[in-house]
Amino acid sequence: MEKMSPLSLLSVLISLAAIVPVFLSFTIDDVHTKTFTGKTSNTEYFGYKALQFKNESAKWIVVSAPMKRNGTGGLYQCSPQRGDCQPFYFAEEDSAKSTGMALASKSTGPTQITACSHSLAHECDSNSYLNGLCYQFNDQLMLKNNITAAYQECTKGKVDLVFLFDGSESLKAEDFQKNKQFIIDIMKSFSNTSIQFAAVQFSKFFSTVFTFKDYHTNEAWDLLSKEVHMKSLTNTYGAINYVLEKILYNATAGAIPDATKVLVIITDGTPTELDYYKSVPALDERTIIRYVIGVGKVDLQTLSHLASEPKANSTFKIYDYNGLTNILDGLQKKIFNIEGTQNKLGKTFKNEMSQSGFSAVYLKDTLILGTVGSNNWRGSLIEVGPESVYHEITDPQMEEDSYMGYSVEVGRKSNKDLYFSGAPRYQHTGQVLVFHQTNGNWTVAETKKGEQIGEYFGAVLCAVDIDSDGETDFLLVGAPLYHGSQSEGRMFVYNLTAQVT
């Protein structure tokens, strides 16, 4: 496959050769111009987006003012004949922000307009999600319905977590208290989540410190503070079996049947007994997530077999009990990712910050939306079919924080449909991707990478059909932050050949 030509003298000459004859056929009247204002202030961004629209009775220019009404946004229909603009939709003040940041028009079948906001914020478990909301209007510019593609529902992953902490005689009194404080700190950090806690102390025997029910009735804190140090052997396997039988799957203790089960083991000694209960295979069979914290001179390799796979990621080694505070943040992040809750401590995002509708375009009856924040800001495209069936298009090679979907365009070459999308933060320079359809799936056919750090290559795209034959001849790529000695910004012109399909 031949790569799309870079912007060189040759491609510029080709572009000019194709464009100049078209320019000779008309002139732009810069005297008898019309100005549309929409009677808005300078801070409302009237004219941020505009497109042509027509129905059976009239032709209009649809214009957005995304900062209208305290930033929620408004839409106007402007008449070229009368030279005035009238509002036809104002977003509700308690809804999404910046409606009209993206506009798209469907010209096939019954015409319709889609106006999008990429700033639909909602709360989930004290975390802020940022999704998108698109409004669809019929050929009379009446609100028809809305779309929330790549919307992340607030689904709280239920988690039952048990602390199994060492109470053997090798612990000093102050170390035993640090054990308790570590448990308190973890529970405090998850106080507004769907995680419930229980705790068991183990030595030669085993003691339920508090159950899940005690946690919900706020008795856990008092019971933990009153727990007495056992000071005996380290019967670890027996303690694990006790947790399996008495706590993790015991409805009387408040266990939730369909919850994810997590066990956090804190110990400063290797087990003093053999695993007669086959507790480790039982943990594996029930897919219980285990984190093991080894303190002092404990043999970490011996303890790591208690941990979940990958064991290196599930085992912590600290010099003494003072080190519990140092691993607090790391353990919190792992637990947050188990629950599926994302906040400042979590790292993995799917659609929590998708911002769908950052860009929008139609291909026949299909609406294509850019979702710059999905998949850890790798970004993606979402196809919205006629029956509001959603289909996500991704690039497996896309890097985090690339913002694919920042721009989207459609084209056609050799009678095959194409999608173009910009990822302006890809490797700090930007990238444009060309998608084609093979066996019903959209895959990357070609890519073009920016060359200058920070230029935002691909922030704006425009597919051009010079001779109106239904085939895309050129792709215009904007790099608005490109900088030179005497200039700012640059537009690149690429000639599309049949080989991109």
Quickly list DSSP for 35-102. Answer: ---TT--GGG-TTSSEEEEE-SS-EEEEEEETTHHHHT-EEEEEETTTTEEEEEEE--TTS-BSTTSE
Q: What is the pLDDT of residue 156?
A: 62
pLDDT the model gives residue 69: 87
Identity (one letter) of the amino acid at 216?
A: H
Cα–Cα distance measured from residue 160 to residue 250, given in angstroms and rounded to the nearest whole number: 11
pLDDT at residue 23 in the model: 41
Spatial separation of the C-alpha atoms in residues 79 and 82, rounded to whole Å: 5
The Cα–Cα gap between 450 and 489 comes to: 13
Q: CB–CB of 83/76 below 8 Å?
A: no
Delimiting residues of CATH 3.40.50.410 domain(s) in the chain? 159-339
Extended beta strands in 257-342, E state? 260-267, 289-295, 315-318
Distance of CA 398 to the CA centre of its chain: 14
Nearest to 100 by CA among 129, 70, 134, 131: 134
Task: Give Cα separations from 189 to 10, 192, 201, 336 (angstroms).
Answer: 61, 8, 21, 10
Contact 90, 74 (CB under 8 A): yes
Return the number of other C-beta atoms located less than 10 Å from residue 35's C-beta: 5
> Which pLDDT score is estimated for 491?
94
C-alpha distance from residue 103 to each of 48, 255, 279 (Å): 10, 49, 59
Q: Is the peptide bond before 281 cis (omega within 30 degrees of 0)?
A: no
Q: DSSP class of residue 247?
A: I
At 314, which helix (H) or strand (E)?
helix 311-314
Contacts (Cβ under 8 Å, ≥6 apart) of 494: 4, 5, 6, 7, 11, 448, 474, 475, 476, 477
Residue 13 CA to residue 291 CA, distance in Å, equals 64
CB 123 within 8 A of CB 129: yes
- State the Cα–Cα distance between residues 355 and 362, nearest whole angstrom: 18
What CATH number belongs to 159-339?
3.40.50.410
Closest alpha carbon to 202 in 256, 250, 246: 246
pLDDT of residue 80: 87
pLDDT tens over the chain, length 501 residues: 233 443 332 233 333 333 434 444 556 788 888 888 877 666 789 999 999 988 888 889 999 999 998 899 999 999 988 888 999 999 876 668 999 999 999 988 788 999 999 999 888 766 788 999 999 999 999 998 888 898 887 766 789 999 999 999 989 999 999 999 999 999 998 887 889 999 999 999 999 999 999 999 999 999 999 999 999 988 999 999 999 999 999 999 999 988 889 999 999 888 888 888 899 999 999 989 999 999 888 777 777 889 988 787 788 888 888 888 778 777 887 777 666 544 444 446 788 899 999 999 999 999 999 999 999 999 999 999 877 788 999 999 999 999 999 999 999 999 999 999 999 999 999 999 999 998 889 999 999 999 999 999 999 999 999 998 999 999 999 999 999 888 889 999 999 887 766
Identity at 233, one-letter amino acid code: L
Copy the structure tokens of residue 346.
Answer: 């979590």
268 within 8 A of 168, measured Cβ to Cβ: yes
Residue in this structure with the two tokens 């790569």, named with its chain if needed: 3
Distance in angstroms (rounded) separating the CA atoms of residues 410 and 408? 7
